Structure 1
Amino acid sequence: MTIELRVLEPAEWDTWYGALELAFGGVPETVGETRLMRDLTEFDRSVGVWDGDECVGTAGAFSFRLSVPGGVQVPAAGVTMVSVAATHRRRGVLTSMMRRQLDDVRSWGEPLAVLTASEPVIYGRYGYGVATEHLSAEIDTSRVRIAIPGGSDEVRLRRVKPDDPAVRDACEAVYAAEVAARPGMLARRPGWERHPVVDAGKVRDGMSALQCVLAERDGEVVGFTLFHNKPEWDRSGPKGTIELRDLYALDPVAYASLWDFLFSIDLTSAVRAGNRPADDPFQYLVSDVRRCRLRLRDSLHLRPVEVGAALEARTYRTPVDVVFEVTDAFCPWNEGRWRLSGDAKGATCERTADQADLALSVNELGAAYLGGVSLAALARAGRVREIRPGALSEASAAFSSEIAPWLPHGF
């Protein structure tokens, strides 16, 4: 049979998604999760590779807006649901989908493509760099305490149903405020508000159904947390674990109050958080950070699809005027020299014949783009080459962000 790559049709979705599930181990998702993914699928931005009637490759691209340094929300293709059948590996299936996808993203006028990788080794060859990390923690709450700033008596904590529409709207407003302040977050389009609470009533893996507590001040919601309680006992007594899903707050007092609540839940002795910002403030409020078992890992992988438009879309912490010599074998339209001139108010980035100041690949631009990875660190790894003395320090300072970029959920 001839292998064919084509845009996904709605009637093909069940087969296409079944191929995706099989490639990721063959364990089906819940009905609620599957329904949500079908509702969110953008069919004209999704492709499948078919060997006769068998789907052997899948890939999609959500139409997101990504927060970048300066607070602007930039159009970005959220690369998702990528898989290749085990029977069709090393036959160019993935490369053909990546080629088609990046050509499409360019035609859509979106300067960035982003993804989360099941295996980080895969996507570097297509120009993606690791732009954010996330922090995980396993906190021994039997021995660790949270310091709460003054004013906590003004914060009221209230337990609510997480899938109540009014609650969901209030939580989304708090989330949106965080998007405006932190690079790397996704402005949630209609439908994505269901993502944090899908199957909220389900009990799985010994954990409770999803629980939600709001933090309120003067009747206004100023923070919230979503979590599961996993009860457990041994001969010495209770040792349950709180599995943290989300925690957002508009001010330090509400933030610390929510953490203190999680630490204080009866019959538990641990809080486990799987995805927090690298600079999450709880690290500076705990009484013993060593008993928090902190760990960093890669999160959002980012690729400039159009180098000029991408670099113009963000602002820069300090003034910068530098010429980059960019290599990009997979998207050759980005190859060549680009002059970036900008500051905290805005930037321009245009092609130039001027001598280069720094040489790097599109992967390094992607890694440094959100300010979480410094160009100076990449240079020390041999991945950025300084041509004009002083250019590296100038560019590295300009690209930096005072707040760590963070992707709070997958897609």
Structure 2
Amino acid sequence: MSTLPTGYRTVVVPPERIEELRTVDQLAFAVAPDPEADQLLPFPVPHDRLMAVESPDGTYAAVHGSYDLVMPVPGGQVACAGLTWVGVRPDERRRGLLRAMITTHLERSLERGEPVSALFAAEAPIYGRFGYGSAADQVRLTVPRGAALRPVAGSERLTVRLERVDPGRHAELVEDLYVRAGAGRPGWVPRATPALRAYTVGDPPGRRAGCEPLLLATVLDGQDVRGVALFARKASWGEDGADAVVKVREASALDPASTHRLWSFLLDLDLTTTVETPPLAVDDPLLHLLVDPRPTRRRLTDNLWVRLLDVPTALAARRYAGPADVVLEVTDVLLPANAGRWRLVVDADGAADLSRTDVDADVALDVRELGALYLGGRSAAAMGSAGLARGDRAALDRLTTAFASSLAPVCPFMF
């Protein structure tokens, strides 16, 4: 599927060459080395999932890795290879190294029994040509201090405790609330390893960008923890006085009352004028709670990109919103085993059965569009209107309805 230039080869990165991998990634992303942070935080990617393209002189020309993730999907979950740390040295570009790495990643993921891959795209135009579809959006808000929220019963009896983050004490607490708060939301991937959880609460001084040390706000109902937020303030003083920004790294809450109490606290801190949220789902409760959303600035961007590696296994891993019987004609240049016609039959309980068929297709689409549909946040009918899926409107509507999720997909942490 892809051929490296003469003298180049794909290799597994051994632990003793991690620093070389870091160097390639720093060159690719224009990131300065941060030895202090590297000492304080464990390397997050499992060593046996780190790969490199070695040049003829033995140095690394390109690198990539992947996480062993379990991705929530509508009504279930699926093993997912989280592609990450993808970088090509600037002086090694335009030689097919990225295509070779993606090919290696797809092959190794399938060998491990991972029917789905996902990533965050540093550059949006790149990954579509490898079959990844934009499957979720995120919104970041900049909210004025004191923005009023609609009342929620029970919020007033909850209390908030504020303390400096202690990674040893707080990593598991933050992860527990994160997982519970995201239950049932597609894409809300747990951080399954100690290294990823350490990154979540990690606070190396060199990465604070002028902010204070990281803080933890905990919402309590008696002694029961109902919500947490990681945040830091960046102090600033203008002609009219204090002008600090509250930068929220993560916010998780288990119910409407704790959500209201948590954001009420974050939106009313002394000496601040604005609050910047972490990535939120496009249907996040905060968007509904704001009394006047107009002064709030919103930035909508893509979130997860999804690639189906094993179409029948991936589609059978999720549940569907209603019965359906539709024939899909799938194209997949990189993984021909996915290509062809598949009959998707969904029963009354939302469970699917996939089988090969020779009958005429109801909808024809590329695996890229199928990946975009997978988490329930996209519309097959809209894809049809854009010419990205072909079929009559009734068939596209049936497919849209079947794939729909009641909650918008999102992954709040970037891997």
Q: TM-score, normalised by structure 1?
A: 0.95
Q: CA deviation at 1:164?
A: 4.8
2:151 pairs, out of 148, 152, 155, with: 148
Taking the aligned partners of 2:181 and 2:255, their CA distance within structure 1 comes to: 11
User: Unaligned stretches of 5+ in structure 2?
Assistant: 1-5
1:277 is paired with a residue whose SS is coil
Q: 1:37 to 1:337 in 2, by over 3 A?
A: farther
CA deviation vs aligned residue, 1:305-337 (integer Å, no higher than 9, x gap): 001101000000111111100001111111101
Deviations 1:132-166 (A, max 9, x none): 11101111225x21223121232111113322544
Q: 1:254 aligns with which of 237, 258, 263?
A: 258
Aligned length: 407
Offset of 1:199 from its aligned partner?
2.0
Match of 2:81 in 1: 77
Question: What per-residue deviation string (whole Å, max 9, x for no partner) do you get for residues 166-213 of structure 1?
Answer: 433222221111342210111221212212111266673221111101
Three-state SS of the structure 1 residue aligned to 2:410 is coil
* Inter-CA distance 294–30: structure 2 relative to 1 (3 Å threshold): farther
Instruction: Measure, in 2, the Cα distance between the counterparts of 1:347 and 1:29.
Output: 48
SS at match of 1:297: strand
Q: Deviations over 1:51-98 (max 9, x none)?
A: 11321100111111101001x221000000001111111111101111
Residue 230 of structure 1: aligned partner: 234
Q: Are the aligned partners of 2:245 and 2:272 in contact in 1 as well (CA < 8 Å)?
A: yes
Partner of 1:284: 288
Question: Normalization by structure 2: what TM-score?
Answer: 0.94
The correspondence for 2:141, drawn from 133, 137, 149, is 137
Aligned to 1:360: 365
Q: Out of 368, 377, 380, which is 1:375 matched to?
A: 380
One-letter code aligned to 1:230:
K
Between stretches 378-387 and 107-116, larger displacement belongs to 378-387
| 1:189 aligned partner | 192
In the alignment, which of 161, 166, 176 is matched to residue 164 of structure 2? 161
Shift of 1:244: 0.9
Percent of residue pairs bearing the same amino acid type: 35
Match of 1:315 among 312, 319, 331: 319
State the one-letter code of the partner of 1:113: S
Say if 2:250 and 2:278, in contact at 8 Å, map to a contact too: no
Q: Aligned to 1:65, which of 56, 61, 70?
A: 70
* Counterpart selection for 1:53 from 55, 58, 74: 58
Aligned counterparts of 1:123 and 1:225: Cα–Cα separation in 2: 32
3-state SS, counterpart of residue 402 of structure 1: coil
Tell me if 1:394 matches 2:398. yes
- Are residues 35 and 342 of structure 1, via their aligned partners in 2, closer, same or farther at CA, if it must alter by over 3 Å? farther
- Structure 1 residue runs of 5 or longer lacking an equivalent are none
CA distance in 1, matches of 2:178, 2:82: 19
Q: CA separation in 1, counterparts of 2:115 and 2:258?
A: 36
